[in-house]
Structure 1
Amino acid sequence: MKLPIALSNRHIHLSKEDIHTLFGEGYQLQLLKDLKQPGQFAAVEKVDIVGPRGEIKGVRVLGPARNKSQIEVSLTDSFILGVKPPVRDSGDLLDSPGLKIVGPKREVTLDVGVILASRHIHMHTDDAVKFGVHDKDRVRVRTFGERALVFENVLVRVHPTYALEMHVDVDEGNAAAVKNGDEVEIIQ
């Protein structure tokens, strides 16, 4: 059985407190477009992120607000910024580096929060039954085409509100020469 893959570009999830600091007290993120995962959206807002070696301008903010701010970058981005983020599941920020976020109103400096997101698959509970997997399983996924490869250690995330889709960062997607919506398959 096959499922769609999507490339996740660098982005930032902000806490409500950091949104208010960066954009102004009481500020609400503005919808640019809905993402495939229900309730998630790309916001109109962008920020700059500054590390010890360099900066990346115009990093897209994703909504809604989270409990803690989190920045997801690629390995290539980490070289530009001069940070060494660990590969982590979303929300696992322990011992990750921080950096400065520059908004239109003010700046925020995070002590932790920069990660290379673990490649993962979002699955609705019905999809998990069809694929014979459970939440937090690790699977292997094969891509197709001239640069086909097998992704190891792909985290399965199962929830009744998730839509079926595998997420990799831009570096990983480019290595496999895949684009958004291409089909991949779990190797049993």
Structure 2
Amino acid sequence: MSTKTIPVAISARHIHVSEEDLQALFGPNASLTKDFDLSQPGQYAAKERVSIEGPKGVIHNVRILGPVRPATQVEVSKTDALKLGINPPLRQSGDVKNSASIKISNGEQAITIKQGAIIAQAHIHMTEQDAKEFNVENNEIVSVEVESERPITMRGVVVRVSKDFSLEMHIDTDEANAGFIKQQAKGTIFKITK
């Protein structure tokens, strides 16, 4: 086990949108307007925001993250899902097949995606060099002990390795609230022994 820690980032509800759905919501030739860069290289928070709606409720002012993706994906917490009245599966980002349907609107235009709403599985972004240092592989499942006022060990955390990543663990707001975890808390990886 490496004694090196990883920074932990709390990811609030957000949307990744396809080019087709972006134009359906914001008009032909619409493009995302960068607000600020995110920690992962090439990723940014856009100024464009939307509302998401399910059978039981609506959540307004949900930020779109750029750049555009091949498929629209809405990432919510379990608490959000209960408010909306939807039942999204726990998935890795990008795995939207047979996930929950949801309505997305910008106040004037609205679309309903048949699949795309998920609860993102806690995961760690890292480079190949980081993976060597932590002695882990892409898609390996690990546990992470997070330092906080109420220390917790998160199990079932997936390692995602790419040269395009920057070292950081991503959890959602429910996970952060349960463990009293603040942005940029430190986590220690524990390999799962079989």
How would you bin the TM-score normalised by the shorter chain? over 0.9
Q: Does 1:24 align with 2:13?
A: no
How many residues are aligned here?
A: 188
Matched, 1:159 2:162: yes
**Contact 1:147/1:177 (8 A) holds in 2:** yes
CA distance in 1, matches of 2:72, 2:148: 37
1:67/1:113 CA distance change after superposition, 3 Å: same
Alignment gaps of 5+ in structure 1:
none
- CA distance in 2: counterparts of 1:97 and 1:136, whole angstroms: 23
Identity, % of aligned pairs?
Answer: 44
Q: Is the 8 Å Cα contact of residues 21 and 105 (structure 1) preserved in structure 2?
A: no
Aligned to 2:64: 61
Separation of aligned partners in 1, 2:79 and 2:99 = 17
1-structure distance, mates of 2:168, 2:78: 22
Q: Which stretch of structure 1 is more off in the superposition, 172-181 or 42-51?
A: 172-181
- Which aligned segments of 4 or more residues in structure 1 are displaced greater than 2 angstroms? none
Q: How far off is 1:145 after superposition?
A: 2.9
Partner of 1:187: 190
1:38 paired with 2:41, answer yes
When normalised by structure 1's length, the TM-score is 0.98
Cα root mean square deviation, aligned: 0.8
Per-residue deviation, 1:154: 0.3
2:99·2:117 contact (CA, 8 Å) conserved in 1?
yes
Counterpart position of 1:84 = 87
Note the C-alpha offset of 1:91: 1.1
Q: Does 1:47 align with 2:50?
A: yes
Cα distance in 1 between the residues matched to 2:166 and 2:27: 33
| Counterpart check, 1:118 vs 2:121 | yes
Worse-matched range after superposition: 173-182 or 148-157: 173-182
Matches within 5 A, 1:124-135: 124-135=127-138
Kept after mapping to 2: 8 A contact 1:23/1:104:
no
Cα offset for 1:146?
A: 2.5
